[in-house]
Amino acid sequence: MSVYSLTKEQQDAAADEFGAMLRRWRLMNGWTQYTAVNWAKEAGLTAICHSGLSELERGLTKNPRVGLFLSLASLNALVHAQDWSGVRTRKLLDQLKTSRAITDQDGNPWGPEQFWSCRAGLLAPPEWLAPPKHNPAPLLSAEQAEELCTSWATAARRIARQTGAGRRGLDQLRQMAPASGRRDWADVLDEQLIWTPEQLALGWDPAASEWQPALWLAQWEAELKSEVRPSAA
């Protein structure tokens, strides 16, 4: 393997782990994919740009811009200061007030430099956000693997029907998988493919203790429901 290939592989692995760390941070704070978005809207936080944060979390952003790291740092600084100014919704405030900031050993909140360094593999996540040491995927039989794949396809059709998402919505769901596995995920949703237990094990998220396709479905459903606006009386 060339030096370039080895360096590229290490960078990709660091980026994936950075995204996993952000997901662990969000989940441990009890946030949904929309907590930061709703916070920014309610409080008028122009320094927090939510666009791209979800992709960064999932490791889909190959060359993130400086603005994303600045947004993360701004979000983290507010959490550290426990500054919820401008938040009006009780439900959102309850989600935020128990949040924990990412800090260095001296208790200072991470800034854009630390977030960038972590993504580059130059700075390790704090211990409380480190990868779980041992949380293997459940052992499945071939029959259980088939049932799991079928349940995801059934859930996708149900969600698309209930939300009125239609074909366009299903296309959005297919795009949530990494590019390398997007075709197979589409075939699973169309019930043209059943993943083997060994293939499914590669899609286990140890931090969330859940299968990645189940996480994609949950995020997709939440995004669709957030787009629904109540009709005027």
74-123 pLDDT, tens digit each: 999 999 999 999 999 998 998 899 999 999 999 999 999 999 999 988 99
Residue 37 near residue 224 (C-beta atoms within 8 A): no
Which pLDDT band holds residue 160 (cuts at 50, 70, 90)?
A: very high
Percent of the chain with pLDDT over 90: 54
Count Cβ atoms within 10 A of the Cβ of residue 189 and give its class: 0-12 exposed, 13-18 middle, 19 or more buried: buried
Residues 188-224: pLDDT tens digits?
A: 999 999 999 999 998 998 877 899 999 999 989 988 8
With a threshold of 0.75, does the pTM exceed it? no
For the segment 127-144, the average pLDDT, to the nearest whole number, is 88
Reading the block at residue 118, the tokens are: 């972590």
What does the radius of gyration of the chain's CA atoms come to, in whole angstroms?
Answer: 19
3-state SS track over the chain: CCHHHHHHHHHHHHHHHHHHHHHHHHHHCCCCCCHHHHHHHHHCCCCCCCCCHHHHHCCCCCCCCHHHHHHHHHHHHHHHHCCCCCCCCHHHHHHHCCCCCCECCCCCECCHHHHHHHHCCCCCCCHHHCCCCCCCCCCCCHHHHHHHHHHHHHHHHHHHHHHCCHHHHHHHHHCCCCHHHHHHHHHHHCCCCCCCHHHHHCCEECCCCEEHHHHHHHHHHHHHHHHCCCCCC
Which pLDDT band holds residue 50 (cuts at 50, 70, 90)?
A: low
CA dihedral 171, 173, 177, 183 (to 10 degrees): -40
Residues 16-35: pLDDT tens digits?
A: 889 889 989 998 998 887 88
Which pLDDT band holds residue 4 (cuts at 50, 70, 90)?
A: low
CA 35 to CA 78: how far, in whole Å?
14
